[in-house]
Every structure is written in structure tokens, then in C-alpha cells.
Amino acid sequence: MEETEQPAGGLHFIGKKDELIEAKRSFRTVDGRDILIIHHQGVFYAMDCYCYHAGGTLENGDIEEINGKLCIICPKHKYKISLCEGEGLYRGRNPQEEPPVYRWYSKGVKQRTHTVTETNGEIFVKMSSQPGWIDSDYYQGEKDNSKKNEK
């Protein structure tokens, strides 16, 4: 696993743009956190690399558009996670509807995503500073302190 260089202004150098495009998926450890860099249809994305559901590695997940959002499909149990926001999407139906129709619903943000920027052909990642617990934190070795405070 490759550990990135120390950041300037919170930006971690990840690699050369050309190399990351060619790789399509790249695995990095940033600040002790394992993340996946994805290049898809001309855009870079970065997210925690272990699926929020049960820690499956997302690296080889297919990417599909679901309900207008590009999502990675976890290879382990096929959970769908939007690339931009880390939203968990699922298909369900309301039994009170006549007839019940299957629709896509959101579980909210479940996977922590990070910001990718480019400068002069070099790619940098700024790690998420979104406060509070996001489910994928668990598989990065973090403890959910927010739940302790609920009692």
C-alpha cells in the first residue's frame, strides 16, 4: 500500500494525472486512511475504499448510473454507493401504494468521500472533514462515539 506525501494546505499528492487515468482505480493510504481514487468518464472521484456495509473492498466494483447518479456497486453484496456524495441507494416499494411500484431511495451518506483536485497534471486529494459519524468510518478503525452520546 502506498503512503502519500505530507500535504500543503491539506492537499495530499496522489500521483500524476496520466498514470491515474491509465490505472482507472488506484488505492492509496492518506493520513492512515485507505482510499480509492477512481477515474471514470473523464472525472476523478475519491472515497473510503471499504464498503460501509461489511467492509468489502470497492476497488473492483462496477460503475452504473442509478436514478441519475453514478454509483459504484460493491462486489461483495451489491450495495450501491454514489460516487459524488457516498450516498447509499436501494430499491424498494411502498406496500400502501396501489399497485406498489419499485423506486430508488436514499439511505443518506454512508460512505465518506474526499475531494480530488488537479494542478499542472498532478492529482491531489483533500480528505473529508465532514463532522460526525459516517458508516464507512467503522472500517477505517474508527469508533462511533456519536452513538454513545445518544444514551
Q: Which is nearer to ligand FES, 24 or 77 (CB)?
A: 77
Among 45, 79, 124, 136, binds ligand FES (CB under 6 A): 79
Assess 86 for contact with ligand FES (CB under 6 A).
Answer: no
Sheet holding 122-126, edge to edge: 11-16, 122-126, 113-119, 43-48, 33-40, 25-30
CB of 137 to ligand FES, least distance (A): 15
Q: Which stretch binds ligand FES (CB under 6 A): 13-21, 37-45, 53-61, 121-129?
A: 53-61
Q: Which stretch binds ligand FES (CB under 6 A): 16-24, 49-57, 93-101, 103-111?
A: 49-57
Backbone angles phi, psi at 139, to 5 degrees: -85, 5
Peptide bond into 99 cis (omega under 30): yes
Angle at 65 between CA 61 and CA 66, to 5 degrees: 100
Specify burial of residue 140 (Cβ count, 10 A radius: 0-12, 13-18, 19+). middle
- Which of 149, 147, 148, 112 shows the shortest CA–CA distance to 131? 112
Contact criterion met (CB below 8 Å) for 34 and 137: no
Give the integer Cα–Cα distance in Å for 10 and 51.
24
Assess 76 for contact with ligand FES (CB under 6 A).
Answer: yes
Assess 74 for contact with ligand FES (CB under 6 A).
Answer: yes
Assess 71 for contact with ligand FES (CB under 6 A).
Answer: no
Q: Which is nearer to ligand FES, 7 or 75 (CB)?
A: 75
Among 11, 46, 51, 109, binds ligand FES (CB under 6 A): 51
Assess 53 for contact with ligand FES (CB under 6 A).
Answer: yes
Q: Which residues bind ligand FES (CB under 6 A)?
A: 51, 53-56, 74, 76-77, 79
